[in-house]
Amino acid sequence: MPPSQGSAHQLRWLALFGVLVAAIYALVFFTGDKSPTPKLGIDLQGGTRVTLTARTPDGNRPSQDSLTKAQEIIENRVNGLGVSGSEVVIDGDNLVITVPGDDSQQARTLATTAKLYIRPVLQAVPAPGSPQAQQMPGQPTAPAVPQAPAPAPAPEVPPAGDGAGAPAEPEQPAPETPAAAAPVSAEDLEVRPAQAPGTPAPEPPPSTEPAPAPAPAPGEPAPADESLSPQEQAQQEIEAAKTLRQSADPTMQQLAMSTMDCSVADPLAGNDDPNLPLVTCSTDGTEVFLLDKSRIDGQEIADATSGFNTEQSRHEINMEFKSGGSDAWAALTGEYVQQRVAFVLDSQVVSAPVVQQGPQLGGRTQISGNFTASSAQDLANTLKYGSLPLSFETSEAETVSATLGLSSLRAGLIAGAVGLAVVLLYCLAYYRMLGFLTALSLVGSGFAVYGIMVLLGRWIGFTLDLAGIAGLIIGIGMTADSFVVFFERIKDEIREGRSFRSAVPRGWQRARKTILSGNVVSFIAAAVLYVLAVGQVRGFAFTLGLTTILDVVVVFLVTAPLVQLAARSTFWAKPSVNGLGAMQQLARERKAAETAVGKA
């Protein structure tokens, strides 16, 4: 016998929920690292603690206000990556970041100073030791004399059209004609006295004065003075780098390009002067750039997001400028048509596209390159939440053990399982087989929640801690409350004399408004708590809000269709099965009393 039209309608809702759960687990097992387990928080699996030492341009101690501002920005970056369970605290003049897992690179990325400037490119050559430089034997690392800017085939910023610049491709430097060797000057020669063959050279007379320390070669850092403090030594390195790499003298610029070592840490990271030229490297260390002074400050960026360009099959960062930055961007792209402009992040070039047509209006552009989904998201998040008021260097990285441990996780899961079992036993005892439908709904909700936890761990770095587990348990309990509301409305209808078949749809019409109202209130409370709270309390609010949404989905797509299908079954209509015999007996007695009163 084919199902009725009403039964077919309910089966479609159940099929929709099944498709959703199947899609979730298809993503779990066929995307990402394919690990079917959620990420755990610091309190359950431990993590990595990175201590960041602040550096100021003048070498003095950082102010408490600047440290507090840096802490706030880094916490915003953590929140922008998702509920990751990270902690950021101030310890003296340092910031201490603790992230779940054993990857300290995430903490270092969060502390990127992100001082972004947009500078015109005056010259670019392959970095010494890079594959491009090795493919051109005899090619000098930098021209002997300054050259006019001549763009090579490079990434493009096509015309905006609708106001949005297109992403740029990585540049392949064009070969240049080798320059002639420079003549040796008199200052490069050492004059020595002539002597007869075989005659030993006379020994110099002993000197009572200490021999002077050898002067460093041009482009090499001066030896550290042990009498200086670490802060003073760092400041000395910064000033030396500025003298060589931010000089307006063309000869010094070419010297800096020829001696630039892209494999060492850059002392100018976040400390370059935007009003002076700059010699620097690309982030991948393959090119050395000579850049003009900054034309646009990164503070003019209104928003930055990452995305995947399906046409070009690459990850990009989409940037939008504020009104002032938008005008400056249009002027810059109009002036440097068919020339390169560089996005310089912490004194390194992250992208240097060629402007194909200008001006680029609308204040929108894209940064592209050899980005992965993770690196694109990290850069977009760093740019979005602004520059830190301080530069930081990693002074210590260590692994920390779980603050609570897996035994606490096991205890929490056991407590949740016991509570869930008690709820199910109560439903079976009070609602009979309707309690069985409750169990099926909760199992479906549990499968959906678990799969979503795994996916959120991959996509936004969500980590599950004990506070989050508590939010899940409370959310599942609220789902059981929705079932109770529905079943009690059915009992009210039966008490009024209706059959089980007619009581179910009427009870659902009355119950769904109450269920929606209760869940909306719970979701608003979770959202407010998420916005106002920090740390693990935020994780609790996140899981509570998530399970509240899933409560609505499960009740509408699973519980209500199952009960309405049961209402059309003769087996489920039996009072001994549905547990509604007492209500039916009460209805018969009430009807009999009303009949007796009417006859009297």
Strand partners, 367: 317
pLDDT tens digit sequence for 299-342: 788 888 888 888 888 888 888 888 888 888 888 888 888 889 88
CA distances (Å), origin 39, targets 43, 262, 383, 460: 12, 36, 26, 11
pLDDT tens digit sequence for 90-143: 888 888 887 776 655 666 666 665 677 889 999 999 887 766 665 554 444 434
Provide the pLDDT for residue 492: 87
**CB under 8 Å to 203, separation ≥6 — which residues?**
none
Q: What is the Cα–Cα distance from 241 to 279, expressed in whole angstroms? A: 10
CA distances (Å), origin 535, targets 99, 468, 574: 12, 11, 52
- Sign of the dihedral through C-alpha 487, 489, 495, 500: negative
Task: Give, in degrees to the nearest 5, the angle at Cα 52 between 51 and 58.
Answer: 150
Joined together, the tokens standing for residue 40 give 């755990």
More confident: 432 or 132? 432
Question: What mean pLDDT is reported for the chain?
Answer: 75
Provide the pLDDT for residue 262: 87
Domain boundaries, the chain: 5-36+405-599, 47-111+396-400, 116-173+228-369
Joined together, the tokens standing for residue 29 give 């097992």
Provide the pLDDT for residue 414: 82
Q: Decide if 121 contacts 257 (C-beta within 8 A).
A: no
Q: Decide if 194 contacts 204 (C-beta within 8 A).
A: no
- Beta-carbon neighbour count of residue 238 at 10 Å? 21
Q: Decide if 527 contacts 543 (C-beta within 8 A).
A: no
**Lowest-confidence pick of 21-35, 211-225, 262-276, 353-367:** 211-225
Provide the pLDDT for residue 511: 92
Note the pTM of the prediction, 2 decimals. Answer: 0.52
pLDDT tens digit sequence for 480-517: 888 889 988 988 888 888 888 888 999 999 999 999 99
| Average pLDDT of the residues in 546-559 | 92
Provide the pLDDT for residue 423: 79
Q: Decide if 412 contacts 466 (C-beta within 8 A).
A: yes
Q: Is the pLDDT of residue 580 over 60?
A: yes
Pairing of the two strands 94-100 and 287-291: unpaired
Report the amino acid identity of residue 187: E
Pairing of the two strands 364-368 and 287-291: unpaired
Nearest to 262 by CA among 378, 388, 371, 347: 347
Q: What is the Cα–Cα distance from 491 to 497, expressed in whole angstroms? A: 10
Provide the pLDDT for residue 293: 93
| Four-way CATH pick for 5-36+405-599: 1.20.1640.10, 3.40.50.1000, 1.10.3450.40, 3.40.630.30 | 1.20.1640.10
Q: Please report where in the chains the tokens 């902690």 appear, as a residue.
A: 87
**Alpha carbon 211 to its chain's center:** 55
More confident: 203 or 442? 442
Domains 5-36+405-599 and 47-111+396-400 share a fold: no
- Beta-carbon neighbour count of residue 28 at 10 Å? 20
- Sign of the dihedral through C-alpha 97, 99, 103, 109: negative
Q: Count H helices, E strands: the chain?
A: 17, 15
Q: What is the Cα–Cα distance from 170 to 150, expressed in whole angstroms? A: 17
More confident: 164 or 23? 23
Provide the pLDDT for residue 9: 81
**Lowest-confidence pick of 104-118, 193-207, 235-249, 546-560:** 193-207
DSSP string of 98-140, one letter each residue: EEESS-THHHHHHT----EEEEEEEEEEEPTTSHHHHTSTT--
pLDDT band at 164 (very low <50, low <70, confident <90, very high): very low
| Average pLDDT of the residues in 171-189 | 33
Alpha-carbon dihedral angle through residues 287, 288, 291, 296, given to the nearest 10 degrees: 50
pLDDT band at 26 (very low <50, low <70, confident <90, very high): very high
Joined together, the tokens standing for residue 475 give 């959310």
Provide the pLDDT for residue 154: 44
**CB under 8 Å to 349, separation ≥6 — which residues?**
280, 281, 282, 283, 287, 289, 291, 342, 343
Q: Decide if 543 contacts 430 (C-beta within 8 A).
A: no
Q: Is the pLDDT of residue 166 over 50?
A: no
Provide the pLDDT for residue 235: 74
Q: What is the Cα–Cα distance from 486 to 204, expressed in whole angstroms? A: 105
Task: Please report which helix (H) or strand (E) contains residue 314, including its range.
Answer: strand 314-321
- Beta-carbon neighbour count of residue 506 at 10 Å? 16
Domain 47-111+396-400 class in CATH: alpha beta
**CB under 8 Å to 257, separation ≥6 — which residues?**
123, 125, 141, 142, 279, 288, 290
The percent of residues in the chain predicted with pLDDT above 70, rounded, is 71
End-to-end distance of the chain based on CA atoms, in angstroms?
48
Q: Is the pLDDT of residue 528 over 90?
A: yes
Cis ω for the linkage preceding 505 (within 30 of 0): no
Q: Is the pLDDT of residue 294 over 90?
A: yes
| Average pLDDT of the residues in 394-407 | 66
Q: Decide if 356 contacts 153 (C-beta within 8 A).
A: no
- Sign of the dihedral through C-alpha 537, 543, 546, 550: negative
